[in-house]
């Protein structure tokens, strides 16, 4: 019974021809993005921003699920309507980020392990009671010199698998997010090799914990050269390398794959996702390949909003525009011609 519910929810999230909106930035991350645009970093401004997102007209046409944060899941719009209800009323499934962030890994300077397993069973029950149907946990793997080491990979993948087991026990679909970071000068080949090691370790741990793969969504990075690499490979090379890596390390039983954007520009993320779903590559993967972007879907809207009521409609249009571009990319139908000049108001307005 639980298995059927998990599979139905996972299918709805990734196999309905739509993708996910990640709006689960922690308060420090959200504040950092606000500070960069001169937006005040208050609980009310974070609430106003999340209200803008969840009430954007037309969002439900391209978005299947939205990942919330602990502060946000408890909040409501200005009329007192819970954000969870705003989402479900337009067919968007609410989910929740449940990890408590990455902390330094003992005895391994420069490496991190994501924490949050203590008390997770009880927190999941609370979130399920509020209406969350799925959860997310992010592990961060840096590429730098000899990093990542085996201790970093194993401890993060075991934590992800234990989190996934607890989610399924609670009847919630786990999104497992092992993010190999873009920061650095590494090549696409090195990213592919490390991403393959990380995913192989992850699926071993999921197997050990007895997690039902048909009720799991994988949220990986695309295989990319480092942000500061002098060689920036073309869209098709990135798409082919990503699919090659996934097909070597991800079992076909997994419900679907929903990419993070990781610091790519919004247009590049759409173009790369599109290339993976166009007719030349679509037969090379058994899973739906969708998006679960935060920055690549929110940032143009945030640039537009800048904390001003007068900019809310234009910002919502920018958000829905990106959602539509990524929706088209799921069918291989995205084209640079879809990019309208976004209505970014003057910073002084
Ligand atoms: P980005 O798309 O900005 O990488 O964020 C995805 C996410 O959910 C980070 O945990």
Nearest to 198 by CA among 245, 241, 251, 163: 245
Supply the residue whose CA is at minimum distance from atom 8 of ligand 1. Answer: 22
Quickly list DSSP for 63-85: EEEEEE-HHHHT-B-TTS-BHHH
> φ, ψ for residue 144 (rounded to 5)?
-160, 115
User: What average pLDDT does range 62-68 have in this prediction?
Assistant: 98
User: What average pLDDT does range 44-71 have in this prediction?
Assistant: 98
Chain-wide mean pLDDT for the chain? 96
- Three-state DSSP class for 75? coil
Q: How confident is the model at residue 2 (pLDDT cuts 50, 70, 90)?
A: confident
The answer to whether the beta carbons of residues 64 and 13 sit under 8 Å apart is: yes
Residue 326 has pLDDT above 60, yes or no: yes
Domains defined along the chain, listed by start:
2-335 (3.20.20.70)
CA distance 167 to 121: 8
User: What average pLDDT does range 152-168 have in this prediction?
Assistant: 98
The reply to whether the predicted model has a pTM over 0.85 is yes
Q: Which of 96, 176, 266, 295 to mutate to test the pocket of ligand 1 (most atoms within 8 A of CB)?
A: 295
Could you report the per-residue pLDDT of 212-238, keeping only the tens digit for each?
Answer: 999 999 999 999 999 999 999 999 999
- Please tell me the distance between residue 297's alpha carbon and the centre of ligand 1 in angstroms: 10
pLDDT of residue 347: 46
pLDDT of residue 258: 98
Nearest to 67 by CA among 98, 105, 108: 98
pLDDT of residue 1: 57
- Please tell me the distance between residue 1's alpha carbon and the centre of ligand 1 in angstroms: 31
Q: How confident is the model at residue 348 (pLDDT cuts 50, 70, 90)?
A: very low
pLDDT of residue 349: 41
- Please tell me the distance between residue 260's alpha carbon and the centre of ligand 1 in angstroms: 5
Q: Which residues are catalytic?
A: 177, 219
- Please tell me the distance between residue 32's alpha carbon and the centre of ligand 1 in angstroms: 14
Nearest to 330 by CA among 9, 11, 19: 19
Where does ligand 1 bind, in terms of residues with CB under 6 Å?
A: 22, 24, 138, 177, 260-262, 293-296
Dihedral sign, Cα of residue 34, residue 38, residue 43, residue 46: negative
Residue 342 has pLDDT above 80, yes or no: no
Q: Which of 261, 266, 267, 326 to mutate to test the pocket of ligand 1 (most atoms within 8 A of CB)?
A: 261
Q: What is the DSSP letter of 221?
A: P
Residue 103 has pLDDT above 60, yes or no: yes
CA angle 218, 223, 229 (to 5 degrees): 145
Q: Which atom of ligand 1 sits closest to the CA of residue 293?
A: 2
Q: What is the DSSP letter of 250?
A: S
Could you report the per-residue pLDDT of 252-296, keeping only the tens digit for each?
Answer: 999 999 999 999 999 999 999 999 999 888 888 899 999 999 999
Helical spans, DSSP H, in 92-208: 120-130, 150-169, 188-208
């Amino acid at each position: 019974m639980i298995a059927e519910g998990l599979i139905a929810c996972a299918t709805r999230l990734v196999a309905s021809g739509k993708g996910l909106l990640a709006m689960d930035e922690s308060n420090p991350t959200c504040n950092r993005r606000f500070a960069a645009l001169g937006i005040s970093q208050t609980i009310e401004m974070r609430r106003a921003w999340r209200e803008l997102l969840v009430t954007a007209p037309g969002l439900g046409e391209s978005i299947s699920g939205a990942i919330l944060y602990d502060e946000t899941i408890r909040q409501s719009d200005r009329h007192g309507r819970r954000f969870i209800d705003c989402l479900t009323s337009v067919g968007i499934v609410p989910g929740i980020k449940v990890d408590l962030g990455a902390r330094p890994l003992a005895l391994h300077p420069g490496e991190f392990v994501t924490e949050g397993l203590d008390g997770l069973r009880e927190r999941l029950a609370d979130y399920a009671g509020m209406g969350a149907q799925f959860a997310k946990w992010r592990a961060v793997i840096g590429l730098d010199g000899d990093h990542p080491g085996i201790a970093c990979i194993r401890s993060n993948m075991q934590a992800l698998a234990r989190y996934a087991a607890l989610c399924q026990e609670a009847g919630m679909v786990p999104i497992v997010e092992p993010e190999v970071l873009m920061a650095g000068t590494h090549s696409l080949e090195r990213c592919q090799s490390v991403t393959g090691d990380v995913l192989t370790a992850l699926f071993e741990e999921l197997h050990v914990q007895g997690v039902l793969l048909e009720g799991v969504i994988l949220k990986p990075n695309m295989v990319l050269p480092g942000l500061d690499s002098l060689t920036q490979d073309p869209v098709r090379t990135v798409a082919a390398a990503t699919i090659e890596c996934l097909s070597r390390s991800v079992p076909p039983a997994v419900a679907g794959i929903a990419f993070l954007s990781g610091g790519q520009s919004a247009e590049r993320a759409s173009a790369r996702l599109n290339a993976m779903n166009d007719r030349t590559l679509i037969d090379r993967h058994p899973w739906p390949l969708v998006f679960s972007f935060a920055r690549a879907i929110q940032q143009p809207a945030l640039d537009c909003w800048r904390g001003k009521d007068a900019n809310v409609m234009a910002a919502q249009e920018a958000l829905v525009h990106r959602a539509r571009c990524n929706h088209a990319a799921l069918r291989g139908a995205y084209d640079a011609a879809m990019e309208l000049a976004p209505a970014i108001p003057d910073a002084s307005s």
